[in-house]
Structure 1
Amino acid sequence: MLGFVQHGVNSHATGMWRNTTDKIGFHFARPEYWQHMARTMERGLFDAMFIADELAPYSTFQDSSDATIKYAVQCPTHEPSTIVPIITGATKHLGVGVTLSTMFTHPYAMCRILSSLDHLSGGRVAWNVVSSYSKSEWEAYGHVEMTPRSERYEKMEEYMDVCYQLWDSWEPGAIVADKASGIYADPSKVKLVDHDGPYFKCKGRHFCAPSPQGRPVLWQAGSSGRGRDFAAKHAEAIFAVHPGVERMRLYADDLNQRLETTFKRPAGSVKLIYGLQTVVAETRSEAQEKYERIKACIPLEGAIAWISGHFGLDFSKMDLSENVQNIEVPGIQGLFESIIYAKDPLGRVPVTVKEAALIYAQGMGMPVAVGTARDIADQMETYMDEGGADGFMLAATYTPGCFEEFVDLVVPELQRRGRLRRAYEGTTLRENLLAS
């Protein structure tokens, strides 16, 4: 179980800052908010808090970021890794998954950042490996055009190769720490990485000694064909968004086939974590009322600005009643497909631009479980037993309330059914995640 948030005023339910139950007594830019969120998730025995990210305000809609700014569409958003020590300092077991892009940070610097965080957290850090997908990110970092998706994956492959070399460059026993002789480390056991590739050059030793996990838990959200191959090759856990159990099962079967056939990894060796949004209450009617208040907070123009930014198409140029087509998009292809199949697992029922925007702005097209704790646990069991889910990424609505309610109401029901741990299995995130 993971809590899905961003280091910003609003996460993945557009307009939640307007909700009267959002951040009561808290401010997202203060440590107290993150400490409380972390302790709440640890109380619910979550594996980790997962921090998504975007590097610049979306600007595809009407070729401007005005609507993004106006409606707080994942904006403002602070840098994600800065809150890792706050979260792990407030907890003993909760991990943190941090989204960091490979496109604008050299792998040498990335390895140093992640190793440092893994040390400070006692081995509780995961890296969500991404390439930047929106034109606003590329423009903000001085690029006129985005690198094509296929080349981005080629670049990411080399990026990971450099990272692996650096993380593995310190051999066991390299640290001597002999005060009498003054020798701290044996240089013969610390490899000099000398990499000269088409995208990256690196000559140097990793500046950090091995961290508790050696390397962070590697997380991926590959959805396109190339993305699934990348995930099957590198990931220890995969985050995927599918609107229903049929699409979940198709994804699980496809991923496991890639693991076994292409990359010679055992089926089931990568944890499949599916996105889910929950609205829970003591009664179904109360939960439905909460759900309607959530939907009422979504601004239509802000929703359209978000799908435009995420998918790389300016939907302001389309009529709101026009049907969204199953096409290749410059942005996140797999999430776009979650919209296509939002109303029907076979994609036979058309989805209009307006419907697509509102569905996506509510929770990226992931399924929504609304009801009592028993109702939600029933739905989660279906996704596990029939959809192949190993766990869930719970998308935030109003915070911290949505996580408090889940922990207080749903967690005991899942534990009663034997579907959720009653204690953490290990001390590192990798130990807990792979055991759960």
Structure 2
Amino acid sequence: MTTTTKKKAHLLGFIQHGVNSHATGMWRHVKDKIGWDFARPEYWQHMARTMERGMFDAMFIADELAPYNTHEDSSDAIVKWAVQCPTHEPSTIVPIITAATRHLGVGVTLSTAFEHPYSMCRRLSSLDHLSGGRVAWNIVSSYSKSEWDAYGHTMTERSGRYDRLEEYMEVCYQLWDSWEPDAIIADKVSGIYADPAKIKVVHHEGKYYKCHGRHFCAPSPQGRPVLWQAGSSNQGRDFAAKHAEAIFAVHPNVDRMKQYASDLNERLAGKFDRKPGSVKLIYGLQTVVAETRAEAQEKYARIKECIPPEGALAWMSGHFGLDFSKFDGDAIVQNIEVPGIQGLFESIIYAKGGAPVTVKEAAMIYAQGMGMPVAVGTAKDIADQMEHYMDDGGADGFMLAATYTPGCFEEFADLVVPELQRRGRFRTQYTGATLRENLLED
């Protein structure tokens, strides 16, 4: 395979709209947010410009609707150790990010559990207009008990949530597609702005949702936001294969990546008549880069030193819906069944290549970055590892999990991006006008 035919990586910066993201304890790191306040626009503008300088496809904003309360039946440890807490509402920073950039997209995680499809469509269409077509929606249905408790609902079964989610998407598609391209006339002489005959009134009477009305927004630049999914269970993978344009997955090694890519492509072609490879597979990766390997290892050690053990255990409990404080620290996680996110739990099970992982080890591994692989070394070392995951694991790109911010993204943009470009594995300019055009390009 020649350099010109090798796939180019897609990059996304994986963060939350909060004091801490996916590496627990980073708020106390000596390099974290020096001179920046996460609650102020200037921080997000700088983060966005840094990622655009690094020619990332998008900033990807994860979310959780309430502090986890599984650990010891309380959210005390989550609050105490700043485990993704406090966290602000993710869509509020989209206009700040896109106003500070020309090309960078924004993927925003929004739950369908407690919001009607009508308002969801209106919000996403509005953001797509304001950004000039640079918005993606990470579709989630709320998996943690704390979210359902906070909104005053009883948590539904996983299978039922996917049934609701399918109907939710059906309503969204009807709304987004309800305006014909030439519906707007805007004739100042007659005073007619739009032709009602070309704007469908959606009449939906389903098992879970009712909707009778026209979409309140004219078609946005992308028509629909880019649809993103992180399905990992059997039902989740089917949903992702049916609806997603890009998929985020966490796998600890190339073998698991390869299996996932093969499985998704089989579902695309076999179940949903979609072309294999037509959905971008973006794998989680955390990087620690320096000029020398020794310096990178020292930086990685300092990152791990910031992780609070109780906070790590509380986060793992919240994500997997099981109070791990009730287990002995030396208990083997492979022997434990969890009700929460199955695919991410596999990232723990296979974290040591299938060898036994204790609860204590699992918590610290997960708190570093959700069990995703960590690339530590020089820019060349990290580029080597990324190429391995692309060429042998089926990755189309990477969701780069934050450590200390904005430094981790500044370092990646300054050191790793030029190395990838030198190898012909990364863009040297943006070619599309919208996020969809940039993200889905080969």
What whole-Å deviation, never above 9, does each CA across 1:35-83 have from its counterpart, x for those lacking one?
A: 0000000000000000000000000000000000000000000000000
Alpha carbons of structure 1 residues 326 and 175: separation in structure 2 relative to 1, 3 Å: farther
Indicate the residue corresponding to 2:435 in structure 1.
429
Alpha carbons of structure 1 residues 289 and 216: separation in structure 2 relative to 1, 3 Å: same
Contact 1:222 1:228 in 2 (8 A): yes
CA distance in 1, matches of 2:377, 2:370: 20
Indicate the residue corresponding to 2:12 in structure 1.
2
1:278 aligned partner, one-letter code: T
Matches within 5 A, 1:30-429: 30-143=40-153, 145-325=154-334, 328-344=337-353, 347=354, 349-429=355-435
Q: How far is the alpha carbon of 1:325 from its aligned partner?
A: 2.5
Question: Which runs of 5 or more residues in structure 1 are unaligned?
Answer: none
RMSD: 0.6
CA distance in 2, matches of 1:403, 1:352: 32
Q: How far is the alpha carbon of 1:415 from its aligned partner?
A: 0.2
Alpha carbons of structure 1 residues 281 and 50: separation in structure 2 relative to 1, 3 Å: same
How many residues align structurally? Answer: 432
CA distance in 1, matches of 2:33, 2:135: 26
1:367 aligned partner, one-letter code: P
CA distance in 2, matches of 1:200, 1:16: 41
CA distance in 2, matches of 1:326, 1:55: 30
What whole-Å deviation, never above 9, does each CA across 1:358-406 have from its counterpart, x for those lacking one?
A: 0000000000000000000000000000000000000000000000000
What whole-Å deviation, never above 9, does each CA across 1:114-162 have from its counterpart, x for those lacking one?
A: 000000000000000001010000000001x310000000000000000
Q: How far is the alpha carbon of 1:328 from its aligned partner?
A: 4.7
1:377 aligned partner, one-letter code: A
1:163 aligned partner, one-letter code: C
- Partner secondary structure for residue 440 of structure 2: helix
1:395 aligned partner, one-letter code: A
Contact 1:326 1:340 in 2 (8 A): no
- Partner secondary structure for residue 137 of structure 1: helix
- Partner secondary structure for residue 249 of structure 1: helix
CA distance in 2, matches of 1:86, 1:172: 29
The TM-score with structure 2 as length reference comes to 0.97
Q: How far is the alpha carbon of 1:329 from its aligned partner?
A: 2.5
- Partner secondary structure for residue 386 of structure 1: helix
1:101 aligned partner, one-letter code: S
CA distance in 1, matches of 2:267, 2:336: 24
Contact 1:119 1:212 in 2 (8 A): yes
CA distance in 2, matches of 1:332, 1:105: 22
- Partner secondary structure for residue 325 of structure 1: helix
What whole-Å deviation, never above 9, does each CA across 1:79-137 have from its counterpart, x for those lacking one?
A: 00000000000000000000000100000000000000000000000000001010000
2:194 aligned partner, one-letter code: A
2:398 aligned partner, one-letter code: F
CA distance in 2, matches of 1:30, 1:310: 28
Alpha carbons of structure 1 residues 176 and 329: separation in structure 2 relative to 1, 3 Å: same
Alpha carbons of structure 1 residues 410 and 95: separation in structure 2 relative to 1, 3 Å: same
Q: In percent, how many aligned pairs have the same letter? A: 82
- Partner secondary structure for residue 370 of structure 1: strand
Q: How far is the alpha carbon of 1:330 from its aligned partner?
A: 2.2
Contact 1:149 1:330 in 2 (8 A): no
CA distance in 1, matches of 2:334, 2:386: 30
Contact 1:118 1:124 in 2 (8 A): yes
